[in-house]
Amino acid sequence: MALPVPRAVKVALALARLCALVVCAAGALVLASWHFDLSALEPLFPHLHSMAPNAAAGGIAAGIGLFCLTFRGLRPFAWLIGFGLVLLGGATVIQDLYGFDLGIDRILLGNAPPAAETSGQLPTGRMAPGSAGSLILFGLALLCAKGDRLGSAISQILAVAMLAQVLIVLTGYAYGVATHYYQFPFTAMSPYGLLSTLLLAIGLLASSPEEGIAAAIVEKSPAGEMLRRLLPGILVLPLVIGWFAHQAEIADYYDSAATLAIFAVSSIVVLAAFSWTTIDAVRRSDRARNEALIELRGQREWLSTTVGSIGEGVIATDPSGSVLLLNKVAERLTGWPLADARGKPIWEVFRVIDEATRKPLDDPALRALRERATTRLESGALLKTRDDKELPIEDSGAPILGFDGSLAGAVLIFRDVTERRRAAQRQTMLVGELNHRVKNVLAIVQSLVQASLRQATNRPAQAMAQTLSERLRALHRAHDLLLEAQWSGASLKAMVERELEPYQREGGPRILIKGPDVLLPPQCTSILAMTLHELATNAVKYGALSAPAGQLSVSWRTARGNRLLLTWEERGAGVVLKRSNGFGMQLIDKGIRHNLGGDTKVDFRATGLYVELNVPLEPARDTGSKSLPAPAESI
């Protein structure tokens, strides 16, 4: 499970990679100076030839090894390079001890390039003992790094030994007692070798920020604060005081015994003052920490009470994804008691799979840790309990951020939706049964009407049966719209389009439908469907849909108070005689006004029929159950 990398770790790894690149650049520059004339760079990089070619090549290899060490997939290359560095440093030490030349420099230089000849510093086949020793130490450190705890500890010790070697060389230069190939304790090396050793040691410590010295330095605690304050004084102050004491001895101000006494006393006084300021800062930090702990205990009690009272499962983790807290609901649903779950990775306690594919799902808490964002409540997941039972759940996760923006952990909330699914299944079954029964009733009535139509012998009876059949089909279409939306409502746009679709043909009347897709509540659907059917039937017989030149416009919009304003306007047809006893007129009046609590406006204009409907999209409080009148032929 990939988790976000803390900022301190990112900075430490970036520092290690930067050190590796600088070491590689320094080695490449020295090698280039032996092959080419780089005298123009002498003011910026003096004494490039003070570093032997084999030492420069070893520095480049060491930089590459350090860079590979910071990437998990490249660590085998780092270990291989470490083995090669041990061989190179060991070969240099052996040829120093026994006085023979392996010819490594001549291999690197080829046939004595001009830059090497004119410099007057042709290599003797030997690198400085300090450089050889640093390569051996660094090679061994690479071989031990990123292994088990013992290997990592050895790698850290070797890095500290390299830093000690750098301090010895710096002290030798500062005190004026280091010469070329000077024996221990002032092991001399070139300035570029000294810089490479320092950067390699720092990079090696920074490449393991999760453990050892680097972890102690970046630790956000009083101990880390004390180490960060004391380390510069411990490393720098004794060297500075010793240098001043040595300069006083050279100037014959004191003899060697007095110099040593002054050095000792000055070191004690300065380090004591430095330590006092550090301890005072740590004491202030500790007081603030204790106050924060007291406040934290109170908030913990408050949080514990709040989480315990929540009716959903709650799991909290630390930044690494380990479980810190489960409430009682989470314990019951997962089957994991808090005592057993604390400290375990959350993906062991909270196991979720996709209900359809049976594949493991990404844990929302881990996703919140990676993305530092709240994940939405999701469904379709199955929780596998400790005893391998499966529960349908909904879950979501959110990161927990500290006051400084750092990642403190994540919280996971989930709920059992078994009962909800059962209720939804029962509702679906009941809706299906209702649809089946309504369709059966409509089909039976339709059959009776068709039978009556076939048995009718006079024209008025046949017309009445035909009209009733068409109205039943309009009701059937309205029912289909409700069925498509699981009885949650019907689309007004779909209702208008289905009602007028039979009359839209090329060369026929022009029909314009305009308006947003409004979801009609179930109580409005049947009445509006019948109203549109009656208006369309009337328009076919007497209005705009009765002639090719006719124009019909149906438009609607929603108004304040959750009301629907629908306009039916006909043009290009003869004037429809005003009738007040037609079924359509009575349907509009009684259905829209009485049953739905809406308002109507019917205007028989010279250009054609104009109807306005103002219908509330919420159930009316007092609606009389009025029976509809007997059908008539027209409005």
Provide mean pLDDT across the span 570-593: 67
Residues 6+ apart with CB under 8 A from 149: none
pLDDT at 125: 46
Q: Give the highest mean pLDDT range of 437-451, 490-504, 565-579.
A: 490-504
Map residue 4 onto helix, strand or coil: coil
pLDDT in tens, 224-258: 666 666 677 677 777 777 777 777 777 777 777 77
| Nearest-10 crossing angle of helices 256-309, 222-250 | 170
Q: For the chain, give the mean pLDDT.
A: 76
Q: Which residue has the higher pLDDT, 13 or 177?
A: 13
Res 414 pLDDT > 50: yes
How much of the chain exceeds pLDDT 70, in percent?
Answer: 71
Q: Which of 71-75, 258-262, 408-412, 439-443 has the least mean pLDDT?
A: 439-443
pLDDT at 35: 79
Is residue 371 within 8 Å of 380, Cβ to Cβ? no
Structural domain boundaries in the chain = 7-218, 220-306, 310-416, 420-488, 489-635
Map residue 513 onto helix, strand or coil: strand
pLDDT in tens, 470-521: 666 666 666 665 555 555 567 788 888 887 888 887 777 889 999 988 888 8
Provide mean pLDDT across the span 150-166: 86
pLDDT at 467: 67
Q: How many residues does the chain have?
A: 635
As its CATH architecture, domain 489-635 has 2-Layer Sandwich (3.30)
Q: Does domain 310-416 have CATH number 2.60.40.10?
A: no
CB neighbour class for 570 (10 Å; exposed up to 12, middle 13-18, buried from 19): buried
Res 2 pLDDT > 60: no
Res. 25 pLDDT band, cuts 50 70 90: very high
Q: pTM for the complete prediction?
A: 0.48
Provide mean pLDDT across the span 107-129: 52
Res 90 pLDDT > 50: yes
- Going by C-alpha positions, the residue among 67, 77, 81 that lies closest to residue 25 is 67
Is residue 521 within 8 Å of 560, Cβ to Cβ? no
Q: Which residue's structure tokens are 């979720």?
A: 352
Q: Residue 76 is inside which H or E element, if any?
A: helix 75-98
